Structure 1
Amino acid sequence: MNKVIVVCGPTASGKTQFAHLLAKKNNGEIVNADSMQLYKSLPIITSSPSLELKNELLYHLYNFLDINSEYSVAKYAQIAAEKIKEISTRKKLPILVGGSGMYINSLIKGFSYIPDIEPEVRAQVRSLQQSLDSNEFFELLKKTDPVIVNVLNAQDSQRVARAYEVFLQTGKSILYYQKSNTKLLEGFSFRAILLLPDRQFLYSMCNNRLEQMFKKGVVEEVKSLLNEKCNINALAMKSLGVKEIISYLENRISKDEAMEIAKTRTRQYAKRQVTWFKNQLQEKDIIEFSNYEEYEKILTMVSPPGFEPGTT
């Protein structure tokens, strides 16, 4: 079977560096599995791979999407699957790297085809969601699609909005479409590596990343987006830190407050990612570490004990 290596884990866990070294050692190429690193206008705030790394080997599906565009899981799965097949045809090892669990699952397990949502419908739903609190919006969904509310909660704003817009667009529950499953990589085997730092060390890594972003010019990056008249409701604008930096640029909070709030949100997001990968990614090799010294040791090993790249 053709083989795919998956390097996954929470934000700031060291996936990029680990995967890069793994690719260099095993004749591999990198395929992005991070929903926000698709966008070309957000290289700093999404911690996209550097030009130096991209000059050393081939990276695919990074920083190419217009900031106002949106990518469904189905669309991502289709283009990523084609890229993986192309890499395999050239006798290279595809290495899928990222923290977007749904993207990764769409390639390993397959995905449910859901019709594209018209921009007008999406704008209507987002406007309505902003005008109501989370519980009120959830009650609205319950009236239109009473079945889906049994698998969602009011605080999961993105999935609630998605369910509501699908019903408005199609007249059917999103569960109707999720019953079907399309698998695009038949004949491929996957080997997943989960990088799992100790919780407190992960939080310190998140904090350090945010501090480095501010030093590298992330405020100017977000300011440029606003100057380009980006759609403030675009999916890309939900990248961690964007909302806080906009608040700073609009003089509603200080720069230090923006950084601290962004740090908190990033840590919360990392915690949710850890939970998802532990529970939803069934077969995986877990690499745990609790400080930079242990992480550096892992990098020198490249292929951790008990892991042979390319095996099933």
Structure 2
Amino acid sequence: MAKRQIILIAGPTASGKSALALRLADETGGVIVNTDSMQVYDVLNLLTARPGPDDLKAAPHYLYGHVSPSIAYSTGRWLTDAEEVLNRPELTEKTMIFVGGTGLYFRALLGGLSAMPDIPADIRAHWRQQDAELGSEELHAILTEKDPLAASTLRPTDSQRIVRALEVIDTSGRSIVEWQKATGRSLIHSGAARKIVIEPDRKWLGDRIASRFETMMKTGGLDEVKALLSLGLSSELPAMRAIGVREIAEVLADRLGPEEAAELATIATRQYAKRQMTWFRNQLGDDWERLPYP
């Protein structure tokens, strides 16, 4: 029996990854698996650009909108869910097309996941509060004293990773760098998969991002954020930090006009896309096909 085909499609937001995945699913009779950390959440259909009803009819989709916004979903949980999809008996002969913009998900899929300690809630809350009060550069100085090895690998402005490193050293007494060296079992053999990364023209992508957010605002984006806010969730949860949520919340509170909110969210999305492109360029090897457009 022939081995099942695996296709990986990475790329920045709004680059046309989903359209390429649908085309390949049509050609191969395959199924599409979400590889994006925001598209896992329920409620935020438009703001996270999840596949629409027509897309869902065109091909089977998995791991989209299956997580409550009240949950802080992790890479580890996604990897467990992805393994469950890979092992479904009815899908054993189907081409699997993993598509998304979350580099860490692709890394975990191909290289396994480092074991990490469970962080107690009080330690997590402490360092997030310190980040809010002191800022990333001061936290980086603290990390340099506590864990110079980790500090040497992080930019002083990278607050998210600095906080994570401080949580790990406080919880375990071991550097996050040491934890990261012990990788787990990969789900997919890199050499057996077709790997594609989309590297679009930046101006084209910037225009597409602006147009897409305008459409979101006109077709239900405000209602989505209103529904999310009605849940009364902590602002620290990942779903609450999705681009557009804060900006539209300001519109709903009459502190910002829709046009200004759209402009701010568009700028934030372009910055996010730039970070994604930098990550893919530096982290994905020469064995990835690089396409200027889908």
Could you say which TM-score interval applies, normalised by the shorter chain?
over 0.9
Alignment RMSD? 1.9
Contact 1:34 1:103 in 2 (8 A): yes
The equivalent position to 2:282 in structure 1, one of 279, 284, 304, is: 279
Structure 1 residues 260 and 238: CA distance shift in structure 2, 3 A: same
Aligned pair 1:242/2:245, yes or no?
yes
The equivalent position to 1:104 in structure 2, one of 103, 106, 115, is: 106
Structure 1 residues 116 and 52: CA distance shift in structure 2, 3 A: farther
Structure 1 residues 114 and 88: CA distance shift in structure 2, 3 A: farther
What secondary structure is seen at the aligned counterpart in 2 of 1:138?
helix
Contact 1:74 1:112 in 2 (8 A): no
Partner of 2:176: 174
Measured in 2, the distance between the counterparts of 1:154 and 1:238 equals: 21
Aligned pair 1:205/2:208, yes or no?
yes
Show the 5 A alignment for 1:102-251. Answer: 102-185=104-187, 189-251=192-254
Structure 1 residues 208 and 174: CA distance shift in structure 2, 3 A: same
What secondary structure is seen at the aligned counterpart in 1 of 2:87?
helix
What secondary structure is seen at the aligned counterpart in 2 of 1:36?
coil
Measured in 2, the distance between the counterparts of 1:40 and 1:69 equals: 10
The equivalent position to 1:264 in structure 2, one of 267, 270, 274, is: 267
What secondary structure is seen at the aligned counterpart in 1 of 2:5?
strand
Name stretches of at least 5 consecutive residues in structure 2 with no aligned partner: none
Name stretches of at least 5 consecutive residues in structure 1 with no aligned partner: 290-294, 296-312
> How far apart are residue 68 of structure 1 and its match?
2.0
> How far apart are residue 87 of structure 1 and its match?
6.8
TM-score with structure 2 setting the length = 0.92
TM-score with structure 1 setting the length = 0.87
Contact 1:78 1:184 in 2 (8 A): no
Identity %: 37
Structure 1 residues 215 and 230: CA distance shift in structure 2, 3 A: same
The equivalent position to 1:56 in structure 2, one of 43, 55, 58, is: 58
What secondary structure is seen at the aligned counterpart in 2 of 1:185?
coil
In the alignment, residue 44 of structure 2 is paired with which amino acid? Answer: L
Structure 1 residues 88 and 154: CA distance shift in structure 2, 3 A: farther
Q: Deviations over 1:104-145 (max 9, x none)?
A: 111112221112323333222222211222212222222322
Partner of 2:49: 47
In the alignment, residue 284 of structure 1 is paired with which amino acid? Answer: W
Partner of 2:69: 67
Structure 1 residues 191 and 164: CA distance shift in structure 2, 3 A: same
Contact 1:31 1:84 in 2 (8 A): no
Runs of 4+ aligned residues of structure 1 deviating over 3 Å after TM superposition are none
Q: Deviations over 1:210-258 (max 9, x none)?
A: 1111011212211221111011110121211122222333333322221
In the alignment, residue 196 of structure 1 is paired with which amino acid? Answer: E
Partner of 1:33: 35
Measured in 2, the distance between the counterparts of 1:3 and 1:116 equals: 35
Measured in 1, the distance between the counterparts of 2:121 and 2:74 equals: 13
In the alignment, residue 8 of structure 1 is paired with which amino acid? Answer: A
Structure 1 residues 146 and 241: CA distance shift in structure 2, 3 A: same
Contact 1:74 1:113 in 2 (8 A): no
What secondary structure is seen at the aligned counterpart in 2 of 1:213?
helix
In the alignment, residue 95 of structure 1 is paired with which amino acid? Answer: I
Measured in 1, the distance between the counterparts of 2:197 and 2:13 equals: 12
In the alignment, residue 291 of structure 2 is paired with which amino acid? Answer: I
What secondary structure is seen at the aligned counterpart in 1 of 2:47?
coil
